[in-house]
């Protein structure tokens, strides 16, 4: 399972120093781990079109759908903290 995401706009690529990554790829043991990572990343990074894929390239979660799932999870976490 892989989490792929960009943390800067593609239009800013020309101003990045040589060797800086535009698309990041992180391995994860399972879907839950990758989803949790997206929730944590959103606290500090402006994620641009993240998606989660199987090792064979099959897309599991993509862009808007993935961010909506993270919103749902974040609301659940906030609700649990208030109780």
Question: What integer pLDDT is reported at residue 2 of this predicted model?
Answer: 95
Residues 6+ apart with CB under 8 A from 76: none
Please report, for the chain, the start and end positions of each structural domain, with discontinuous segments joined by +: 2-82
Question: What integer pLDDT is reported at residue 14 of this predicted model?
Answer: 56
Residue among 29, 39, 24, 31 at smallest CA distance from 70:
39
Question: What integer pLDDT is reported at residue 76 of this predicted model?
Answer: 79
| Residue pair 4/50 in contact by the 8 Å Cβ criterion | yes
Strand order in the sheet with 23-27: 23-27, 2-6, 48-53, 59-62
Which residues of the chain fall short of a pLDDT of 50? 19
Q: Is 10 helix (H, G, I), strand (E, B) or coil?
A: helix
pTM of the model: 0.74
């Amino acid at each position: 399972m892989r989490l792929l995401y960009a943390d800067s706009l593609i239009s800013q690529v020309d101003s990045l120093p040589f060797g800086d990554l535009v698309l990041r790829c992180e391995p994860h043991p399972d879907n839950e781990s990758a989803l949790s990572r997206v929730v944590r990343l959103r606290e500090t990074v402006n994620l641009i079109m993240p998606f989660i894929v199987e090792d064979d390239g099959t897309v599991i979660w993509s862009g808007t759908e993935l961010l909506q799932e993270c919103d749902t999870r974040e609301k659940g976490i906030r609700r649990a903290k208030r109780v």
